[in-house]
Amino acid sequence: VETLATTRADCVALDAADPLGPKRGAFELPPDVVYLDGNSLGPPPRLARERVQQLLDREWGTGLVRSWNDAGWIEAPLRVGEKIARLIGAAPGEVVVADSTTVNVFKLLSAALALRAGRRVIVMREGEFPTDGYVTQGLAAMTGAELRCVAATDLEVALDADVAAFCVSHVDYRTGEMLDLHRLTDAAHRVGALAMWDLCHSAGAVPLDLTAAGVDLAVGCGYKYLNGGPGAPAFCMVATSHHERLQQPLSGWMGHAAPFAFEQGYRPGTGITRLLSGTPAVLGIAGLEAGVDAWQGVDMVAVRAKSLALAELCVTLVDQRCSGLGIEVVTPREAARRGSQVSLRFADAYPLGRALIARGVIGDFRPPDILRVGLTPLYMRYVDIYDAVEAIHDVLTSGVWRRPEYAVRTVVT
């Protein structure tokens, strides 16, 4: 009989002693599920049910159009932006909630080209989350900007006096590798370029201090670690020093200095408000605000400590239980180079993932061969990791993942 260094009872004991343990009660999670996909879609905070109900009944239902003023709908993008600013170490007035990450990449990279007029190169990394690349290709086609795509290890050498900005994910969506945000931001500044970070896999996942790092621009999404709900609005961050000269091409009425003056010419609003374009998605922002409020009073240092402990546990158990089964950990083993996920490589990761989901162990698949285990310390338990690795072991040793139904591709993976 194989002896494990860590038993299920050990994990139960770790959960009992976990200072973040009680936070799990703030979320609605089905009892028969091991949820490993909070890095793709966070579960509903209990607060969301209450808030959305109130929005439907009282604000939309009874207040009707008066609620734009009376229920704070019009201020919601800035109000929730302030709360996100605190989570990512940005200053007050530097973050606003709007649109999707994709649209925000377009707005901010356009703004970066305008702030660095005369420079036309945008640096990105190979293997970047595709939407960032797609939208930058569109922007390049419109503006004549040039896209310079390099390996993550070559980002620093790709920066020169032609570069307006880089736009790079802080944590890689596939491998979970975390780049050195301070170092790359400094490298951009040394050549007079702007540093723009995609924080989709960082906000609510790892401690961030954008102000201390001198980050110029950032985007991130609301539905992953912030638990804002499916398709929740995204956020944009712009350092205060750039506000006055900030121009973005989707200059809609909500970013105007006086939207309800109905002037014919565009005059940008003050500060970060000029990043707004159209009417805020009030229902979506309500979910996002509930998600962000679930973070109140949470110490990001404790979150990071637990995330690293969950990762260690996962890596150790996979090494022990799954050696010789064709599966390996691809996330960096050094804690400092890791975001808040563990990625496993297996040649048939897609059917493996489907077979796990059929057992109630929900992770996700990213091509060509990655099974992702998202680590979300607010509601994840040590025992979830234990049960997930046992399920992986069982599914691999029994060969159940080979069933033909698990090979059928769903639209969303």
Ligand X SMILES: Cc1ncc(COP(=O)(O)O)c(C=O)c1O
Cite the active site residues. Answer: 129, 198, 223-224, 372
Token output for 323: 């050696």
x/- string (CB under 6 A) for ligand X, residues 225-254?
A: ---------x--------------------
* Rg of the chain on CA atoms, in Å: 22
x/- string (CB under 6 A) for ligand X, residues 115-154?
A: --------------x-xx----------------------
Of 60 and 106, CB closest to ligand X: 106
Q: What separation in angstroms does the CA of 402 have from each of 348, 349, 355, 360, 369?
A: 9, 11, 9, 17, 15
Of 94 and 99, CB closest to ligand X: 99
Given 200, 206, 288, 342, the residue binding ligand X (CB under 6 A):
200
**Does 100 participate in binding ligand X (rule CB under 6 A)?**
yes
With contacts defined by CB under 6 A, how many residues of the chain interact with ligand X? 13
Q: Would you state the torsion angle of the CA atoms of residues 89, 94, 97, 98, taken in this order, to the nearest 10 degrees?
A: -130
Residue range at the interface with ligand X (CB under 6 A); choices 21-29, 159-167, 195-203, 396-404 = 195-203
Q: Smallest gap, in angstroms, from Cβ of residue 374 to ligand X?
A: 11
**Does 106 participate in binding ligand X (rule CB under 6 A)?**
no
Token output for 182: 């301070």
Of 136 and 185, CB closest to ligand X: 136
Of 255 and 284, CB closest to ligand X: 284
Given 73, 166, 173, 386, the residue binding ligand X (CB under 6 A):
173
Of 25 and 368, CB closest to ligand X: 368
**Which residues form the interface with ligand X (CB under 6 A)?**
100-102, 129, 131-132, 169, 173, 198, 200-201, 221, 234
